[in-house]
Amino acid sequence: MEQDMLDKTIGRYEIKEMIGEGAMAKVYRAYDPEIDRSVAFKILKEDHCVDEEYLSRFLREAKAAGALSHSGIVTVFDVGKLENAPYIMMELLAGCDLGEVLKDKKKLPLKQTLIIALQLAKSLDYAHKSGIVHRDIKPDNIIVMPDGESIKVADFGIARMNENKESQKTQVGAVLGTPRYMSPEQALGESVDGRSDLFSVGTIMYEMLSGNKAFDASNMATLMIQIAQKQPESLKTVCPDIPAGVRQIIQKLLQKSPDKRFQTGNKLAEALGKELSTLNDQQIEQKKHKYIPLKIRWTLSVVAIVGLVSFISIKIIFNIQSAAMTKQAVDSGSSFAKFISTNTAIPMLSEDWISLETFIGDAASRDTFSYLIVTDRAGVVRGASDNSLVGNMYEPNENAELISKTEDVYTTSAETTDGKKMFNIKTPILFQSTEVGHIILGLSQDGLDEVKSITGWLMFFLALITTSSVAVVMFIFGGLIARPLNVLNQSLKEFSAGNLDTRISLTRNDEIGEVFNGFNNMAAAIQDRYTEVTDELTQTGIDKTEIVKEKQDDLATQAEQPSFKEVTDQETESKLPSQVEHNINDESDSKTNSQIGLEIEPSKMNQDIDAEQPEGSISALVSHSEPELDLNPDETIISTSQINVDKKSNLIADNKDTYGSADTSAKTDNPLEISEDTKADTSAKTPSVKRKLRKKPVKAKEESDITDKVSDEENGGTNTKTDEGIKN
């Protein structure tokens, strides 16, 4: 049929190539030329078209998925039939399923796990609100997009829709789904709701974070026990770095009772959203703040604060002091310029240039200024310390920076041709308030700059000494604080490890001392309570050493005994702390109650169910007249006839235990028919047949007893009596 399908046109869809094949259907890539889109064409296999269960499942998938329109659920575009074979035209997805991702990576980072689980919770919440329970949530049915975070839920082949009550009744007792990811109620064939899917989400999250299966039994019977009774190994042990909030979410999802789980996918999504938000904030903080010891962190923090304050303070003080020193230098130069102006007024007025030159030469010899220039009202130099300037027009420096300006003094700052900084002070020469010329006085800034530099360095060293002193003090102080904290931390570790005698002997008269006293009081209270409980257990005759010895003796006995031992009912009841009663009621038209005992085949109870099985096959746990089927907990159970479990019955086994088997001879129409000797006794009612499984002789409270008593008493209660036989 595969070659016939290729290049075939179905409606407007062109079949291009086969891209996958499962237990019940084949998937092809098809092309829709009208909207230029590739789609997935899923068609039921020919040999399954005559099987009502497969056909019903396939059509149910189309009906369930077609009723949903959500970004996290695979979209169904069209359904129909091709040569009596139903098909579904659905969204073609890139990427791969989560199962393949986990095979490659074993486990996923926490953030990626939370993102995937959050989308899964929202998608399931939408489906549940639409009245659809998936019932087969597992990694293989979760498609991960190429970005590694976006997902879509696929394969609604065994989904249950909220239809009429009759259709719901037929599903009670039917075990459908993939055993390894089933909820307890689904594994026991009871009716399920959306909370069953959320249990499956918990198993997937556990696997994504730990890299291990939540329930890892290697045979079906033990797996059912684990799912129904046992909790997976604690994530705190397997992955101690997982946040407590995430561990709590998974622990709540894996509760055996549906009432103790998250009640809706939305509630789960809210919890996951909070954890994801916290993780994002924490990652941002971790990038900013790596782990640093307290004394180092405090020291660096205080040094940074003191250093910053010191720098700002030095900058402000230095600027104020520099301005004050500059003003003082300018005022001194201005006073000197005015003095010269007063003494040169008469020579300028009388144009006595010789007297002016003599005065300038005498003033320059004192080396109190760098240069001195005297100009007349027209700006011609009449006298100067540099005689080459006399007789020329005075040309001011255009790049000079204004320092100060008053009515009679104009001060600028500029560099000379040789690179020296100068204050250029210009003041008028007045004679009886009449301006007769100008004095230009040059003062060097080298001395002032040197004073400023010395002052700045002194301030810097002062701040450095202060900051270093604070750093040393804070480092010592941080060490003093860290030392008692380390003592408290070490004491907590020892106490949590089981050393209840741990106490803190340090005595302090401060807040830390109060914390130490609080720890000691807490430890004493817990130890007293533990002692009381131990005394109570001792008084009731429970001794831990006896339990350990009992277990050791049991291991030795088990090594010497064969797998199946013939025992009488009385011997079995005396040796076993618990027994499992398994009654199967087969209703007939005559309304008689046939009680049947199941003969457990040891080779089937301990078979390796993780080994590769024939495609789509399911192995039976009980021997009967029909052909044997292989049960694989990692494959979806798709037929109610492949395993028939009454909704109240529990299949109890342990891969490390041995089992007894019951011989019966009651006839039944059940497909799991067992050939046994039956003794009919219509004169009186007989007790229901018990299937006894030999388990390790350990303490009764450590064993799990699951008793299943189903009986129909009709028309006086005519019963068939069966005798139990114990086979080796």
Q: For residue 353, what are the contacts with CB-CB under 8 A and spacing of at least 6?
A: 347, 382, 383
The phi, psi pair for 591, rounded to 5°, reads 60, 40
Mean pLDDT of the chain: 74
Cα 8 versus chain centre, distance: 47
pLDDT of residue 652: 35
Distance CA 355, CA 361 (A): 10
Which one-letter amino acid corresponds to residue 383? G
Using DSSP's 3-state secondary structure scheme, residue 46 falls into helix
Contact 472, 398 (CB under 8 A): no
Identify the burial level of 702 via C-beta atoms within 10 angstroms of its C-beta, where 0-12 means exposed, 13-18 middle and 19 or more buried.
Answer: exposed
- Interval 285-296 mean pLDDT: 74
pLDDT of residue 2: 52
Quick check: 515 pLDDT over 80?
yes
Distance CA 305, CA 247 (A): 40
Q: In residues, how long is the chain?
A: 728
Question: Which H or E run contains 19?
Answer: strand 13-21
Predicted structure pTM score:
0.48
Using DSSP's 3-state secondary structure scheme, residue 382 falls into strand
* Vertex 41: Cα angle to 38 and 44 (nearest 5): 175
- Interval 538-557 mean pLDDT: 61
170-208 pLDDT per residue, tens: 343 444 557 889 999 988 888 889 999 999 999 999 999
Contact 110, 242 (CB under 8 A): yes
211, 229, 279, 429 from 204: Cα distances, Å: 10, 18, 20, 99
- Interval 327-336 mean pLDDT: 88
- Catalytic (active-site) positions: 136
pLDDT of residue 227: 92
Residue 265 pLDDT class (50, 70, 90 cuts): very high
Q: Would you state the structure tokens that stand for residue 345, as one six-digit string?
A: 């007024």
Summarize the chain as % helix, strand, coil (round to 5): 45, 15, 40
pLDDT of residue 553: 65
| DSSP line for 97-114 | EHHHHHHHHSS--HHHHH
622: closest CA among 640, 635, 608, 607?
Answer: 607
pLDDT of residue 542: 55
Cα(first)–Cα(last) distance of the chain, in Å? 49
Domains along the chain with CATH numbers: 2-91 (3.30.200.20), 96-288 (1.10.510.10), 307-452 (3.30.450.20), 543-728 (no CATH)
* Vertex 587: Cα angle to 581 and 591 (nearest 5): 120
More confident residue, 88 or 711: 88
Residue 160 pLDDT class (50, 70, 90 cuts): low
* Vertex 121: Cα angle to 276 and 158 (nearest 5): 155
Task: Categorise residue 520: left if φ over 0, alpha if ψ from -120 to 50, beta otherwise.
Answer: alpha
Quick check: 643 pLDDT over 70?
no
Residue 50 pLDDT class (50, 70, 90 cuts): low
pLDDT > 70 fraction of the chain, expressed in percent and rounded: 68
- Interval 446-467 mean pLDDT: 90
Using DSSP's 3-state secondary structure scheme, residue 405 falls into strand
516: closest CA among 487, 539, 559, 540?
Answer: 487
Quick check: 262 pLDDT over 90?
yes
Quick check: 478 pLDDT over 50?
yes
pLDDT of residue 294: 80
- Interval 576-586 mean pLDDT: 38
DSSP tag of 399 = T
Distance CA 271, CA 255 (A): 16
- Interval 112-116 mean pLDDT: 94
Cα 288 versus chain centre, distance: 19
Quick check: 595 pLDDT over 80?
no
251: closest CA among 221, 210, 193?
Answer: 210
| Cα atoms in the Cβ-side hemisphere of radius 13 Å centred on 678 | 20
Lowest mean pLDDT among 210-224, 398-412, 577-591: 577-591
Lowest mean pLDDT among 46-50, 217-221, 514-518, 618-622: 618-622
pLDDT of residue 77: 85
564, 622, 665 from 603: Cα distances, Å: 12, 10, 22
Question: Which H or E run contains 81?
Answer: strand 76-82
Cα 103 versus chain centre, distance: 20
- Residue 511 neighbours by CB distance under 10 Å: 8
43, 383, 469, 563 from 552: Cα distances, Å: 57, 121, 66, 18
Q: For residue 547, what are the contacts with CB-CB under 8 A and spacing of at least 6?
A: 698, 699
Residue in the block written with tokens 């540099």: 386
pLDDT of residue 263: 95
Find residue 364's DSSP bridge partners.
none
